[in-house]
Structure 1
């Protein structure tokens, strides 16, 4: 194999694929990236951890087609440190690959292409397209609520499912048991009959990075066990989480009658200020609600106390409720408008947070005892 490629092009491609590769691997081939120089003037880069796979095609000047695998992180670090604008020549022979750029020359050990594992996709019967911006919105407004608790593995991703309510919809939801985020978009053509799927957290993170370089639409193909995202130059394939996502609709309150209207940014800043004295144990921020008056307070046995009055519109009966300050700020940080509605019931019931009844995103936050 022999090919020449522009450093910036190679670096961008390697940055995408190497982030899938785990730093510690018991199987040596999984530390490697597959490099395949193709006769048509393209180079294919591929990496996998057996659950997630990125396959990217980039332009290159190919003198001799061929394929080899080499350490993904080592090659990425080498290319990253090469001078900007340089041409990188990759030549593989006899179990080695040489990387030449200007006066720099590196020789690296390789493993044969035939040992490189690939995810067998099987049939992916459901196929549809989503605008890249819509997919970004779905991820950004839900992924902060994905659980990191490995024992409840079925919560370690974003749940995608279609509904046939008054109109056909595609819904994305994530929860860690303390908070829930849900985004609703119009159901794309081809998604009817789609199985309910849970897209793993690592796939969501890699997909979000790749979406920054996509302008148009993303092709989505899936079955009950695998999902593939076609992003133009790159194809991301992932196994899905084999589990049942809980019926989250039961925790979305429908009868919370105390409504607080606030400016999310100034409210978030107030929460951030008073929670400065909070510790890991006392993350709770207390909201004392009275007519058009909200007092935020935090009490910490170690550090002292803090309180701040923040503006808001509230006309129901006075009461107090506590929330985890970080969870509350995570949700408020997702609100793009100047006004958010907080639907409250009592100090122990789930609280609903949304911009208004027609906004695509809604959030549910469980209170804390304070």
Structure 2
């Protein structure tokens, strides 16, 4: 293998694939990046056996070849290199990297030992615009379960129905759902449960300047093609909870409040709530007042009063962190808090928006 490429492009490609490098694997080759010439371009790949990411960059190829080299050393060398162009030359399993001011040899492992990252060659299932998909991921993925004892809750649901895509995540205590209009009807309605790690990597890779992401589906696998990069992942088997039944159909009690004001009030209450299992109370009053209360036997208590448009009255308790998690991703100047009763799930959504909702289970409190 003999070639040269721009340092800037190489550094970007390494940053795209390196996040899935397995750092604690019993297989040394999984700590490496696969470097391979392919159809006149340089291909970089990494995998942890659950997710595989590949990236292609332009290069001047004089001789074909492939090798795997340690990801961390390769990444650090290229990132530190300030020269414009880097030349590669492979001798057995040693890769020489040469630029105007720097020269190095990095010992590698044969490319034949690198696990095959499967590629799905079927016709695309759907093509989606990047921006709404990236926004939808940000608005939902934070609600996945950290505990993986129930695997389906550690994934994000992509539910394709006709010309709609619903993206949802839940840990059974709260649920986030975003709906996106599809550019066309899908030929077959399908549920895909994608590991949260895969979804996060996809969002990280997608640039705001990119136009579309193409999704391909095969048995137990999904593939996302974005510009010069590709993400391949296993799907989580099982059925996602039928969460629609917990979405309140009637919400006679409500408060509409500026998002920034509510966020600051929750932050203030959290200072005291952290001493009492993050328990805070919301009190909606008929006189257009929203009260946020936190009481800690150890630390003391706090009360925040916000001016709000209200209907009905309620006193209801929530986990402060679960409330604060959703506020940065609402993307609206005002939010709506909607309730049907003190023991029923609460609903948070941007004002005048039907595309996004956040459901949070209330806490039982001692009177």
TM-score relative to the length of structure 2: 0.94
Q: How far apart are residue 126 of structure 1 and its match?
A: 5.7
1:108-150 deviation line (CA, Å, top 9, x unaligned): 2111111111233456466111000121122011111111111
Partner of 1:197: 192
Q: Distance in 2 between matches of 1:7 and 1:296?
A: 53
Partner SS state of residue 196, structure 1: strand
Instruction: Structure 2 unaligned segments of length 5 or more: list them.
Output: none
Instruction: Show the 5 A alignment for 1:120-159.
Output: 120-121=118-119, 124=122, 127-159=125-157
Partner of 2:303: 307
Partner of 2:74: 75
Q: How far apart are residue 333 of structure 1 and its match?
A: 2.0
Q: How far apart are residue 64 of structure 1 and its match?
A: 1.6
Partner SS state of residue 12, structure 2: helix
Supply the RMSD in Å over aligned alpha carbons.
1.8
Q: Distance in 2 between matches of 1:194 and 1:241?
A: 17
Instruction: Structure 1 unaligned segments of length 5 or more: list them.
Output: none
1:150-188 deviation line (CA, Å, top 9, x unaligned): 101111111011235xxx422111001111111112234
Q: Distance in 2 between matches of 1:357 and 1:31?
A: 48
Q: How far apart are residue 213 of structure 1 and its match?
A: 5.5
Confirm or deny: 8 A CA contact 1:126 1:194 kept in the other structure. no
Q: How far apart are residue 319 of structure 1 and its match?
A: 2.7
Matched, 1:16 2:11: no
Instruction: Show the 5 A alignment for 1:158-237.
Output: 158-163=156-161, 168-189=163-184, 191-212=186-207, 214-237=209-232
Partner SS state of residue 271, structure 1: helix
Matched, 1:275 2:266: no
Distance 1:228 1:280, change over 3 A: farther
1:6-29 deviation line (CA, Å, top 9, x unaligned): 111110000001111122111111
Partner of 2:90: 92
Q: How far apart are residue 38 of structure 1 and its match?
A: 4.1
Aligned length: 364
Confirm or deny: 8 A CA contact 2:161 2:190 kept in the other structure. no
Partner SS state of residue 171, structure 1: strand
Which portions of structure 1, spanning 4 or more consecutive aligned residues, are displaced by more than 3 angstroms?
Answer: 121-126
TM-score relative to the length of structure 1: 0.93
Q: How far apart are residue 37 of structure 1 and its match?
A: 2.7
